[in-house]
Chains A and B, each alone.
Chain A
């Protein structure tokens, strides 16, 4: 079972994690990653950010990553929630939460999903700073990290 959502509005990761944790009583481990909007990047204060995506492809790309994780490890449920549109500092941008019977698989699967999401799911961030707007550049380190898998 997995739950993938793209949301225009802010969401509460703790509610989502709590729902996921109770979904299957045989799962003893819950691991989550929450990516937060920062108020600073490349030395500049960031006032807000706009997240663009490719409707249809974004959902199917995330779905494919989650399915790969499910084939690789024995998992319970997976939740992936990602914001689109306008995001403000301290807003959660992304939540990846995974359950499994024991912790090892949930830890690995959670990191695998966020690593591939960052390099394969079509989202683009544009920052609004005091010096104007700018597109965020893709990081080479994110792509390099995929070779760990």
Chain B
């Protein structure tokens, strides 16, 4: 299973803190961050609005900020988060 976490504005807009997705559900031979985002956007509103308008979205894979094209494997933890505002 792939564990997915949503933070801050995204958690609120999606009304979802975390979920698990079976990699087979995505029907991809090698799954990238973009494939996962397209799958989530395909759920309709509010998912499509959050994931289609994602220029200011940070993605972490296994708690490391990741670039586009990063591959996701079974048992990975993927987090979608807005730009950070600590300090």
Contacts and interface: CB of A to CB of B under 8 A. Distances in A.
A97 B81 CA distance: 28
Contacts of B47: none
Contact of B86 (A57, A124, A137): A124
Q: Pick from B5, B9, B81, B86 the residue with the most CB of A within 10 Å.
A: B86
B72 interface: no
Interface of A: 35, 51-54, 56-57, 60, 82, 93-94, 114, 117-126, 135-138
Q: Pick from B8, B63, B81, B85 the residue with the most CB of A within 10 Å.
A: B85
B38 interface: no
Given A54-B63, A54-B79, A57-B79, A124 B8 contact: yes
Contact of B7 (A35, A56, A124): A124
In the complex, which range does the number of interface residues on chain B fall in? 10 to 19
Interface of B: 5, 7-9, 56, 58, 60, 63, 65, 79, 81-87
A122 B87 contact: no
Given A54-B60, A54-B63, A57-B63, A122 B84 contact: yes
A138 B85 contact: yes
